[in-house]
Chains A and B, each alone.
Chain A
């Protein structure tokens, strides 16, 4: 296997001159609601792109439908604002036919997990070289406030006046179940963390899914305040760092250990006795079991014990690499296609005039 981390990025041409954030801003007026979390994500992405140093013309953003899916219009790269839920499918065709491109998908919780759920899971299992940014605001914004597939059960919305009956998806759990090779979670307002996760995703060969908690200040304001308010976040937020014990709370007084009986993870107050038992986060573990257990820690209602960071980052064969390899192998084995020979086939006869 030749494609190590960053190996696929080497196929994308580099920018000739040094880039700045300004280079990635298009001339289009940004039309999200004032105060929308999307602004922060856009700024973080535009700010991060120069670091990659890729030729701007070799970067493509593909989106579906929803507020977040307007994103490509604001990036001064190639872009396509497609149809509801289909961005992973469209991006798959682009990425598999053009390995010299860095292809990014921007999607939302409704777009990716409801109407486009099928395409998302299949992109993840194939491990196409795509970077998927899933803006999760746990609400339908563009259609004005219906519950989404990540909304908490019982949520009162325009379409659920007596409370929604649906159990929500956990996007990280779903992605891990779909054999994703890279899964991370971050928060719109934490620019540094968001940028760190983008960096790791960009380097990853294969599909990377980043769930970004994003505030919709119109229809679901404050959905993630438990993770943003400094005081409340101490109990709620768990920052995952590869190779480090999983600790959180004031001065790291809390930690995660494995229940020896069930194998489940649980939060404990760290003591000298249990400190050696604290879970050491291994994002590169071959088995997704612990990553999945981490994804189940959070309480979907209070968001307590919500891990952020890279849950899983492993290397496995990349779909577009293998597709290209098959083409090369076919040419090695059969020679470059000869149309005249193909058309004639094996069984011909000649009619003389």
Chain B
């Protein structure tokens, strides 16, 4: 079962010539095609995906699934919206370009909430994606297709994008690993913009180790994205298999009513971190409920601006093709930026954002990392998001405070419900540019527990 290999194992097998790259690609593509009727993880599977450049990297020859908001010049790029139905961009995003030149094989584009607006993948104009762990349930979103493709072994690893939860929440719901890098660590060039000041592309993988490998491949300054950091990119795999003894970990959002149901199971898992030598203590924070307001206003405002280019003149369909969710967000953003309201909404929200920044700066003086659940609960049943204008914001509430501040975080599986086969994810947030530390803690946790389904098998 070549498609069930982790990125690390696949790389080793290719390197030792135990498997051929073409075999691996064919297997992943075949599995994708056969499972996609049911799961609908992909909006597009490449018929003739093949290996082009031999390259001496850890991702050379690795079949990857790419969220459908990355521009790819050989595959349609729709952001799961009818506006961009059958749009094939004449250029590649910086990230996909980087992956290709490292020898990775892009086998298809994954379903998402249209324009990344949502946390369910139910707002896709091309049908909902099912959670492969239990198909009655949602995969989460907006990177739900990528999470499902990884969970169902329809690829070796995938790329998603996150504005506030869009990588980590579906990773949590599908029982995989999702890494949201620091804002500015990975280039946004050529990715359909959602909320420009928080959009962060990142890996969605089977193991923490795979995320570290994939982040190595996509991170770094891009002269085409002025918000990428010029600082050097460390080797994130250097953070693997390292002790977390004496790490000071703050347990945030511990007394939120929203996760009463899952609280005890989560706290059980925090003991694992203590067993590994870390200190874990409850850490009071600025009220995360306010982050919902900040995020909603900032994100809707930026959405209304970023989606203004879709007029059907230069490419794509006209503005009547927007789905209801996009229409709602564009219009709310237009309202909060309009004359007489911008100060009260947009500017005010960004001032509260400053308070969140200060809060995290203070927290990181006391703690090396902060942990919480990635999403307050398990995956919701299909249909749950319908008619819920604030569905995503509530599901992503625990990730919104750090996301609006641009902080990195890793979601790692931390519980599986035996009856439903559904997962919870632990989110580990570290200071800006310290993805390595989040990887270190997540990797240690993963290796010390039985929640990772790929490590269990191997």
| A and B together in one complex | no
